[in-house]
Structure 1
Amino acid sequence: MLTFEPFRIWYDRQRNPETGKKKKKTELYGDCGFSSNTGAKIWNDDFPVLSDTIETICRVYGLRIDQVLEYRRLGKNEIPEPHHPKHRSHSEDIPRRSQ
């Protein structure tokens, strides 16, 4: 399972250079030019996310990919979270012919 947790931890420690206050999640949108939907995917680990999104985070903040994403193996008794229905593959939408 992929997670943006390393990035979220890093981002939570950042300060706005103008105010000295902790950066708000919404500042990510302006910094990287993301929509609120893309930001929500990052904060909620709602995959799939475009590789361009990951690349933009690395470039804008000067991070390595391992500072942005992490792969975690599921434990024996863990069940992967189901993908959101809107992320189904197109082949699932094609009716099958009966034989």
Structure 2
Amino acid sequence: MNLSGGNQQKAILGRWLSEEMKVILLDEPTRGIDVGAKHEIYNVIYALAASGVAVVFASSDLPEVLGVADRIVVMREGEVAGELLHDDANEQQALSLAMPKVSQAVA
């Protein structure tokens, strides 16, 4: 039986949810799935967080991160470039942290 990308993601997540956990790491949990499946996964993430589970959510989809995360840690070249809180975060701030700093040449 072949499952769609969204159903594969939900099946994997469902299997892990049967375990008692304090922390769950989700790496690109909604990559390549349809909008409906994304919302189902977001609802699971919100329910986990509400129950006291720490959810670490890694995603390259910036609008998704801004919409889901309480705290955003931006990485640049393998190191932490900065941290933003949900209420203060926007795309411009996140991108400015993610982009390499351009040094100005002095003539």
Shorter chain as denominator, the TM-score bin is under 0.3
By percentage of residues, which structure has more strand?
A: 2
